[in-house]
Amino acid sequence: MDKRKKPRRAINFPVEISWCDGRGHTHTGTARALDLSDTGIRIESSVRIERWTHVHVRAAQCGLKTNAIVRHSIRQETTYLLGLEFEAAIDSEHPKAFVDYYELLQISPNAELETIRRVYKLLAARVNPDNPRTGDDERFRIIKDAFDTLSDPDRRAAYDASREQRTQGPLPIFELADFALGVDGETNRRIGILCLLYNQRRASEDKPGLSIMDLEKLMAFPREHLAFAVWYLKSKNFVTTGESSDIVVTSEGVDYLEAHLPANRVAYQLLKGAETGTMHCRVAPESPVAAKSEKSGVAPCVH
């Protein structure tokens, strides 16, 4: 169904909005909400906000707190009429996931335009729906969205600002019971570290490793609780210390992860989440083997 045909209800109350302009400057302000649906909101603003800008919207009157993108920006006599599309439907049982375009394309957030174009061209050719062997309509659409956003300086600046807000906290997967404190979660914490290092090494040639502070931030575990896991991984030669004391996955660590990927839910979610750019979402892909094992009451064996 066309999102513009979603039922809207008239409203009239102030909303707070914040956004980043094309020069990287952050702005906040108050606008007036005019109507609302599950997928978007129409507001009247005293300042202009460019189309495709990512904004954060807050409205205490209806408990609204979400991210949106400006789809329409129409100038009136003294104000601007803005049509905002939510990045996730506010009452959907399966909300639209935020996609990290850099993870999706497996490139650094500092990648130059030429790199973005080259990677996009190769990936798009592989998943193009016209490709009879590897065509994938949905993946092609997402990859094209990534390219359209990252190849436009203004849209990229706005997206980067929104991405920074979304990626400030730990990855949602580390909130699962699989990573419980103590010996019960120790194995999965080691797997989690390996996966993060694997993803980092694959995506960034310039910075192939992560510091213990990076791991602490991504996993929401104090470094004191990660020390044992790092010691173990180093003793098995799965990780090593690289430049600037960063921790870097080794070829042995890569082989170990890939060998256990189908049977371990944690590894599958972290590696496939990075592949699809959805690591920062609360719903991640699940290994069919791991899901089957979980239903049968048999935990996948990874040591």
Domain CATH number, residue 191: 1.10.10
Same domain membership, residue 122 and residue 36: no
User: Quick check: 103 and 279 in contact, CB under 8 A?
Assistant: yes
Same domain membership, residue 277 and residue 190: yes
Kindly indicate the confidence band of residue 5, based on its pLDDT and cuts at 50, 70 and 90: low
Residue 60 covered by a domain: yes
Kindly indicate the confidence band of residue 6, based on its pLDDT and cuts at 50, 70 and 90: low
Confidence check: pLDDT of 297 > 60:
no
Residue 190 covered by a domain: yes
Structural domain for 66, as ranges:
3-86
Same domain membership, residue 108 and residue 73: no
What would the mean pLDDT of 166-173 be, rounded to a whole number? 77
Name the residue with higher pLDDT: 60 or 155: 155
Residue 52 covered by a domain: yes
Same domain membership, residue 254 and residue 211: yes
Q: Which residues 6+ apart lie within 8 Å of 101 measured at CB?
A: 145, 146, 149, 150, 159, 163, 277
Q: Rounded CA gap, 233 and 21, in Å?
A: 43
Residue 301 covered by a domain: no
Count other Cβ atoms within 10 Å, centred on residue 281: 20
Which of 116, 143, 166 is the endpoint of a domain?
166
Which of 116, 144, 166 is the endpoint of a domain?
166
> Would you state the pLDDT for residue 283?
47
Confidence check: pLDDT of 57 > 80:
yes
Sign, Cα dihedral of 266, 273, 115, 51: negative
Q: Which of 169-178, 189-198, 244-253 has the lowest mean pLDDT?
A: 169-178
> Would you state the pLDDT for residue 289?
43
> Would you state the pLDDT for residue 294?
41
Same domain membership, residue 186 and residue 269: yes
Kindly indicate the confidence band of residue 301, based on its pLDDT and cuts at 50, 70 and 90: very low
Name the residue with higher pLDDT: 4 or 149: 149
Amino acid present at 168: Q
**CATH number of 160's domain:** 1.10.287.110
Q: Across the chain, what does the average pLDDT equal?
A: 81
Which of 52, 86, 120 is the endpoint of a domain?
86
User: Quick check: 284 and 174 in contact, CB under 8 A?
Assistant: no
Same domain membership, residue 108 and residue 78: no
Give the SS3 label for residue 51: coil
Kindly indicate the confidence band of residue 79, based on its pLDDT and cuts at 50, 70 and 90: very high
| Number of domains observed in the structure of the chain | 3
Listed as own residue / partner, the contacts of 109-117 with beta carbons closer than 8 Å and 24 or more positions apart are 109/160, 109/163, 110/206, 111/150, 113/151, 116/147, 116/150, 116/151, 117/147, 117/151
Between helix 251-260 and helix 186-203 the angle, nearest 10°, is 120
Same domain membership, residue 198 and residue 265: yes
